[in-house]
A and B are shown apart, each in its own frame.
Chain A
Amino acid sequence: MALTGVEIFKLLPKTNCKKCGFPTCLAFAMKLAQRQASLDACPDVSEEAKKILGEASAPPIRPITFGTGDKAVKMGEETVLFRHEKKFVNPNAFVLEIKDTEDDATVDSKLNDVLTSEINRVGQLLRIDGICITNESGDAGKLQSLAERIAQKAPEVAVMVNTENPDAADAALKPFSGKNPILYGITEANAEKMVEIAKANKAIAGIKAQGLEAAAALTEKVKGLGLEDIVIDSGARTASEILEHNTYIRRAALKKNFKPLGYPVINFVQRDEPMYEALVAGLGVCKYASIVVMSSAEKWKNLALFTLRQNIYTDPQVPMQVEQKIYKIGEPTPDSPLLITTNFSLTYFIVSGEVENSKVPAYLAVMDCEGLSVLTAWAAGKFTGSKIANFIKESGIENEIKHRELIIPGYVAILSGAIEEKLEGWKVTVGPREANALPAFLRQKVA
């Protein structure tokens, strides 16, 4: 069982020496309880406390880092089954499979897809995170030369080697040694040899099992052989198996504290058609996969999958924010009305939707208030007369419109005087309190 912050605090030295980087032992203990700090940061903690805390603070799903450098992917550490309860922690990795039976041109074109996959969406850089090199040929030499080609052409990309043949594994892992690769293909039959190879190359153990019971037995075996960084393939391939296995694994780890399944999960979702494959990959994103292995990475497919992953892994507690700027709705002219609201994305979606419904072209000024809704932002001093006035002035909207009238949300009618005072030559009009009254309001306005 996890300890509470106060229970952890009781085990700390209580000297408030600040060596851990926190102002007090208590603050440090609270962060430990939330797994946002590591016990190693306190140099003075007693051996006994270390032992108790070490056991209690191990997260139910083991944290594992796949790859190295800026583009390394963190996995595991999840704490809930449903995203509304608390943020899903580590977004899954998308991995493209390349087989050692594919010709050089195909390999290069797939590599190119990976290397050019990065896009920027709402301020985040998203990309295909890794490559899975598969020993389709059964030939160790072929896998090795594919591995070398990839290590040379895509040195920064995280790699997973897929083979059940220890000789092939040994040869193909070498170029990625020390770069946190995954050695996938560890089975009951080859575990001893494969774990040796994985250890020698500092690789993560990717176990390949048939069913959950077998998977649990195999992780225990691998752990017994001295390797604790493990990712699980339970053998699920169809959508319904993926849903079932992933759900049981997540539940067993979180609700039953069942350690043998407390590891990140790999799903193989390859299908004949890229569009259909994307939908099965989406199942992995929504339902608990840490690694999703695919057979293609078209740009349109990536865009949809990256967006889905971003949506699902959004912190439900931090209101999603939209960018601060003046949005054009319809095709506004210099005479079109100008409205203002905050950048809480739900507010934005609803207000812009209603302006759209009104069919009145308009400018919507969306102001950065850390994603708070109108009233809350006002109360927190973030949506005030002078801040609004500054924003309007700096936005440059004065060069785009002829009039000088700003429509503010009805909830902050109280601000109209203050804005007029600070925004010289402007008239402030109080709009409706609720967005659904906007269409009627706007239509009347331009009538």
Chain B
Amino acid sequence: MAFAEPKEAFPGQVVPVTIGSEIQETFGGENTLPFHKFEGSVPNRPLIAYEIQDVPPEDWPETVRKVYEGVSDDPVKWARYCEDELKARSIALRLVGTHPDSKNLSADDAATVVKGVLDAVKVPIIIMGSNHVEKDAEVLPRVAEVAKGRNCIIGKAQEKNYKTIAAAAMANDHKLIAMSELDINLSKQLNILLTQMGFSREKIITDPMCSALGYGLEYTYSVMERIRLAALAQNDEVMQPPMLGDVGMYVWKIKETQAPEDVLPEWGSLEERGILWEAMTATSLMLAGAELLIMRHPRAVEYTERFIDELM
């Protein structure tokens, strides 16, 4: 029996998205399954953004907090550190301090932080709210304005607040993260609603909601695979935006990245465990289709980049 490579070609294609102004990065654009260069075109590598925030990261565990000691008290210093020292290709600024239960910073406060960060660095910026539905609808339009001209990604728009946030992204020429909670059908629905209000599907990044290794990773993994198959095999246009894996936030709050080795000796080194946990969550989701990743630990980023090198 002669062997013939069972190649598969798909009618659909993932939308390529370019962000940034002076320095630009493009991700997405493939017409095949993740890293299937052997049967399709994969023009861009996934993009990893370093996560920083507007207030000091007090709830980050030691392993990752200590990396940013001396810079994380000031988002501008922090952003510079990522760009200059860590050679970040992109930076994701999360405005957690605006959450009513955190510092409840105002939209104006947020705008000042965003302006400071934008002035300090050149790489493309992702600006995210605190995931508080109402507060985000207040804060994100204001910061979208401040960031006009920088071709950022703002988010996250959810079913309950997408109108205001999408309108602001549209008016100020930004890309938008559309998030739904681990439900492929609701994810499609949100993208439909966005396109129905005139928001271009070419400016959407789908966030099907991340989960950490061991904490529901298989759900995110399968939702991503299904979204990608709908985009490629069914040529479903609203499912063709690239996908986000918001990895760091989910990984650095679970037990495996926090429990010390003297309490759980059978789990081995806490430092290595935490870093691997973040890197492996990221690489697994990339294999399922994520093209944009938000991460925290520089070593996790480094290993993930190396993994991408070997696949590209």
| Alpha-carbon gap, A247 to B299, bound state (A) | 29
Interface 9-mer from A6-14, A342-350, A369-377, A385-393: A342-350
Knowing A83-B221, A279-B307, the reply to whether A300 touches B269 (Cβ < 8 A) is: yes
Q: Across the two chains, which residue of chain B brings its CB closest to A213?
A: B3
Knowing A276-B307, A282-B284, A311-B214, the reply to whether A301 touches B276 (Cβ < 8 A) is: yes
| Alpha-carbon gap, A18 to B48, bound state (A) | 60
Knowing A256-B6, A275-B275, the reply to whether A298 touches B219 (Cβ < 8 A) is: no
- A: contact size bracket: 35 or more
Interface 9-mer from A93-101, A160-168, A193-201, A258-266: A258-266
Interface 9-mer from B21-29, B31-39, B111-119: B31-39
* Interchain CB contact (< 8 A) of A304 among B215, B266, B273: B273
Collect the chain A residues with CB atoms within 8 Å of residue B256's CB: 303-304, 307
| Alpha-carbon gap, A305 to B279, bound state (A) | 12
How many pairs of A and B residues are in contact by the CB < 8 Å rule?
148
Contact, CB under 8 Å: B216 / A251:
no
Contact, CB under 8 Å: A252 / B6:
yes
Contact, CB under 8 Å: A311 / B213:
yes
A227 interface residue (CB < 8 Å to B): no
Contact, CB under 8 Å: A240 / B35:
yes
A320 interface residue (CB < 8 Å to B): yes
B225 interface residue (CB < 8 Å to A): yes
Interface size on B, residues (CB 8 A): 54
Knowing A283-B287, A299-B266, A349-B211, the reply to whether A278 touches B276 (Cβ < 8 A) is: yes
Q: How far is the CB of A259 from chain B (nearest CB, A)?
A: 7
Contact, CB under 8 Å: B218 / A240:
no
A84 interface residue (CB < 8 Å to B): yes
| Alpha-carbon gap, A348 to B306, bound state (A) | 35
| Alpha-carbon gap, A212 to B287, bound state (A) | 22
Contact, CB under 8 Å: B5 / A248:
yes
Q: Across the two chains, which residue of chain A brings its CB closest to B133?
A: A436
Chain A, residues 289-324, CB within 8 Å of chain B (1/0): the string is 000000000111111110110111010100010000
Per DSSP, are chain A's interface residues mostly helix, strand or loop, or mixed? helix
B182 interface residue (CB < 8 Å to A): yes
Knowing A243-B311, A276-B303, the reply to whether A286 touches B218 (Cβ < 8 A) is: no
Contact, CB under 8 Å: B5 / A300:
no
A406 interface residue (CB < 8 Å to B): no
Contacting residues of chain A (322-357) with chain B, CB-CB under 8 angstroms: 345-346, 349-350, 357
Contact, CB under 8 Å: B287 / A303:
no
| Alpha-carbon gap, A314 to B226, bound state (A) | 16
A225 interface residue (CB < 8 Å to B): no
| Alpha-carbon gap, A260 to B1, bound state (A) | 8
Contact, CB under 8 Å: B310 / A280:
yes
Collect the chain A residues with CB atoms within 8 Å of residue B266's CB: 119, 299
Q: Across the two chains, which residue of chain A brings its CB closest to B160?
A: A436
| Alpha-carbon gap, A390 to B130, bound state (A) | 40
Collect the chain A residues with CB atoms within 8 Å of residue B160's CB: 436
A255 interface residue (CB < 8 Å to B): yes
Contact, CB under 8 Å: B6 / A251:
yes
Collect the chain A residues with CB atoms within 8 Å of residue B108's CB: none
| Alpha-carbon gap, A308 to B218, bound state (A) | 9
A239 interface residue (CB < 8 Å to B): yes
Contact, CB under 8 Å: B273 / A300:
yes
Collect the chain A residues with CB atoms within 8 Å of residue B283's CB: 279, 282-283
Q: How far is the CB of A381 from chain B (nearest CB, A)?
A: 27
| Alpha-carbon gap, A240 to B276, bound state (A) | 21
Collect the chain A residues with CB atoms within 8 Å of residue B312's CB: 240
Q: How far is the CB of B146 from chain A (nearest CB, A)?
A: 27
Q: Across the two chains, which residue of chain A brings its CB closest to B304?
A: A279
A75 interface residue (CB < 8 Å to B): no
Q: Across the two chains, which residue of chain A brings its CB closest to B272?
A: A300
Most buried by A among B182, B218, B267: B218
Knowing A275-B276, A299-B266, the reply to whether A307 touches B1 (Cβ < 8 A) is: no
| Alpha-carbon gap, A305 to B226, bound state (A) | 23
Q: Across the two chains, which residue of chain B brings its CB closest to A118?
A: B266
Collect the chain A residues with CB atoms within 8 Å of residue B88's CB: none
* Interchain CB contact (< 8 A) of B3 among A216, A280, A283, A302: A216
| Alpha-carbon gap, A74 to B181, bound state (A) | 35
A402 interface residue (CB < 8 Å to B): no
* Interchain CB contact (< 8 A) of A311 among B36, B181, B217, B307: B217
Collect the chain A residues with CB atoms within 8 Å of residue B218's CB: 83, 311-312, 314, 316, 320
| Alpha-carbon gap, A304 to B303, bound state (A) | 15
Contact, CB under 8 Å: A84 / B310:
no
Q: Across the two chains, which residue of chain B brings its CB closest to A120?
A: B266
Contact, CB under 8 Å: A301 / B268:
yes
Q: Across the two chains, which residue of chain B brings its CB closest to A239?
A: B310
Most buried by A among B37, B182, B213: B213
Knowing A82-B225, A243-B36, A300-B268, the reply to whether A248 touches B6 (Cβ < 8 A) is: yes
Collect the chain B residues with CB atoms within 8 Å of residue A44's CB: none
* Interchain CB contact (< 8 A) of B5 among A212, A314, A350: A212
17 additional A-B pairs beyond A283-B307, A286-B288, A308-B284, beta carbons within 8 Å, are A119-B266, A119-B267, A213-B3, A239-B307, A248-B6, A251-B6, A275-B272, A275-B299, A275-B303, A279-B279, A283-B287, A303-B268, A304-B276, A308-B280, A320-B216, A346-B219, A436-B160
23 intermolecular pairs with C-beta atoms under 8 Å apart: A119-B267, A238-B310, A239-B311, A240-B310, A243-B36, A248-B6, A258-B6, A260-B3, A274-B272, A275-B276, A276-B303, A280-B310, A283-B307, A298-B272, A303-B273, A304-B276, A304-B280, A308-B213, A311-B217, A314-B218, A346-B216, A349-B215, A436-B133
